[in-house]
Amino acid sequence: MPVEEKFEQLRTFYKQILPTLTTEGWAFTESLLSVRQVKKREFIVRQGAVCNHISFVNKGLVKMSYMTEDKEKIISFCNEGNYISDYHSFLTRKPSMLYIQALEDTELVETQYDNLQLLYKKVPEANLLGRLIAEQLFIMMSESDMTAKQETLETRYLLLIKDQPWLLQRVPQYMIASYLGITPEAFSRIKARLVKQKVAA
Amino acid sequence: MPVEEKFEQLRTFYKQILPTLTTEGWAFTESLLSVRQVKKREFIVRQGAVCNHISFVNKGLVKMSYMTEDKEKIISFCNEGNYISDYHSFLTRKPSMLYIQALEDTELVETQYDNLQLLYKKVPEANLLGRLIAEQLFIMMSESDMTAKQETLETRYLLLIKDQPWLLQRVPQYMIASYLGITPEAFSRIKARLVKQKVAA
DNA sequence: ATCTGCCATTAACCCAAATCAAGAATACAG
DNA sequence: CTGTATTCTTGATTTGGGTTAATGGCAGAT
């Protein structure tokens, strides 16, 4: 695959949130991007280190998590076509509390912090882009937040089946359980309960 | 109090996140602001309606909440010197899932959606401001998120006593309980437990 | 093919918080 | 000041998920 094609997905993404992006603007933006290949199990962000990049997933699957008392809690999964980053650490330049790790061999398109600051300086419309990205990330975060709050465990599981069925294929169940905020045992019970309900109906 | 003094607090706030804001820029920004008085118990945002404004609290106290199965769950309180808005609804122009309601007679400085779009068009540096506000809100949201996740109930209560002691004076305890994510009964017991511990120590 | 280690399920028991149910304390209107 | 309503506390009971432990399935390594 030629290098320039590696930015195709990201370009489509940008075009969606900023249709007025000029060819020159995009050309300069593209010059600041870099492609990175990470192997399964490799870390993209580690707890304790400042997150220096926003990463767009071209191909593959990653998880975002944190540790409490030696237990891993998964915050989210991120597959092709989405941004993943500890944006908090990225913005504040403070050490990350999180881990981001590849669950499959993954291809990322990365925007480095310093390059983005350069972009803001050089290309005036970049602040507009920066605003839109920040707003976009805010929207995504508050949406996942609301689903987490609104629904019961069972509803959230059913939602997951409906909205992200690929997760069930690509991710072991103990990770789904952690993502839902319960133990694998409890997750197993819920599934058994749902099967019994379906049989009864 | 003269009208222009009503923007003093907000101006201080803006100067902090954007020290380079020019006098003209501020003058134009100010021309797009409006002051609004709301009575205790009055709603600032209602579930089902699009949130058309970002509100800066000049004086008073408001709460942000949502309903699940006829139970109210409080997300946050907001007092003098802070912004309150359903920023998600504001950005996406979709109906809000939330309620924002005054707990005391409150004075707000409001930025209307249409005015803000006008500002972005007329004042180039406003996109920078918009980016910084979005980033700021993202940072605040993810920080409250992390504390909520990391800490135990008791720790969160002790944190609240330390960081927002005024809440305990101004807000009934069943609201604090809802904010902490437990029933008033459980909250009462936690307090009793802490008192007993303190006596024992 | 067998061994090994990881993952999923199931059961028994435990515990923190929810729920249900009275009271006690406080605030508030007339 | 009195009566009413709201808020807070305390107790009894229930419940959902955690913990521990045993079992079975399956995949990859040798």
- A112/A198 same-domain check: no
What backbone torsions phi and psi does residue A158 show, to the nearest 5 degrees? -65, -40
Over residues B53-107, the pLDDT tens digits come to 999 999 899 999 998 877 899 999 999 988 899 999 999 999 999 999 999 889 9
**Cross-chain Cβ contact B137/A141 below 8 Å:** no
**Cβ atoms of A64 and A99 closer than 8 Å:** yes
Domain finish residue from A127, A149, A171: A149
- Mark whether A138 and A155 lie in a shared domain: no
Q: How far away is chain B from the Cα of A159, in angstroms, using its nearest Cα?
A: 17
Q: Are residues A156 and A106 in the same domain?
A: no
Residue A159 CB lies within 7 Å of the nucleic strand C: no
pLDDT (0 to 100) of residue A198 = 62
Q: Is the pLDDT of residue B197 over 80?
A: no
Q: How far is B119 from chain A (nearest CA, A)?
A: 13
Q: Please count the other Cβ atoms lying within 10 Å of the Cβ belonging to residue A177.
A: 19
B138-147 pLDDT tens trace:
998 888 888 8
Check if residue A194 sits with its Cβ under 7 angstroms from strand C: no
Which residues from chain B sit within 8 angstroms of residue A139, using beta carbons? 88, 91-92
C-alpha distance from B127 to closest chain A C-alpha (Å): 5
Q: Are residues A170 and A88 part of one domain?
A: no
pLDDT tens per residue across span B3-31: 557 888 888 888 887 787 788 878 888 88
State the pLDDT at residue A201: 56
- Asked if A10 and A92 sit in the same domain, the reply is yes
The verdict on A114 and A41 lying in the same domain is yes
Low-confidence residues of chain A: pLDDT under 50: none
Residue at shortest CA–C1' distance from C20: B185
**Residue A112 and residue A14 share a domain:** yes
Check residue B5 and give its pLDDT: 76
Six-digit token pair at A17?
A: 């949130």
Which among A128, A149, A170 is the end of a domain?
Answer: A149
Q: How far apart are CA B8 and CA B12, in angstroms?
A: 6
Computed over every residue of chain B, the mean pLDDT equals 87
The pLDDT of residue A52 is 96
Give strand D nucleotides closer than 7 A to any protein Cβ: 7-12, 16-21
State the CATH number of the domain containing residue B139. Answer: 2.60.120.10
A88 and A129 inside one domain: yes
Closest CA to A182 of A153, A152, A147, A146: A153
pLDDT of residue B45: 94
Task: Tell me, yes or no, whether A140 and A161 share the same domain.
Answer: no
Q: Do both B167 and B140 map to the same domain?
A: no
Give residue A159's domain range.
151-201
Q: Does the CB of B153 sit below 7 A from strand C? A: yes
Percent of chain B beyond pLDDT 90?
43
The answer for A 138-157 residues in CB contact with B (under 8 A) is 138-139, 141-143, 145-146, 149-150
Q: What is the number of structural domains in chain A?
A: 2
Both A141 and A170 in one domain: the answer is no
- What is the distance between the alpha carbons of residues B55 and B109, in angstroms, rounded to a whole number? 6
pLDDT-based confidence at residue B153 (cuts at 50, 70, 90): confident
Measured between beta carbons, the chain A residues lying within 8 angstroms of B134 are 131, 134-135, 138
C11 C1' to A185 CA distance, Å? 11
Residues in A closer than 8 angstroms to B88, CB to CB, are: 138-139, 142-143, 146
- Of the two residues B119 and A45, the one the predictor is more confident about is A45
Confidence of residue B200 (pLDDT cuts 50, 70, 90): low
Can you give the pLDDT at residue A199? 60
Q: Name the burial class of residue A90, with classes exposed (0-12), middle (13-18) and buried (19+) by CB atoms within 10 angstroms of its CB.
A: buried
Q: Which of A112, A129, A149 is the last residue of a domain?
A: A149
Q: Give the residue ranges with Cβ < 7 A from strand D.
A: A 153, 181-183, 185-186, 189-190; B 172-174, 184-185, 187-189, 191-192
The tokens describing B147, both together, are 């504390």
Is there a single domain that holds both residue B192 and residue B143?
Answer: no
DSSP string spanning B16-80? Answer: HH-TT--HHHHHHHHHTEEEEEE-TT-EEE-TTSB--EEEEEEESEEEEEEEETTEEEEEEEEET
Query: Lowest mean pLDDT: which of A84-88, A155-159, B121-125, B179-183?
Result: B121-125
pLDDT digits (tens, 9 = 90+) for A7-20: 888 888 888 877 88
A66 contact B CB<8A: yes
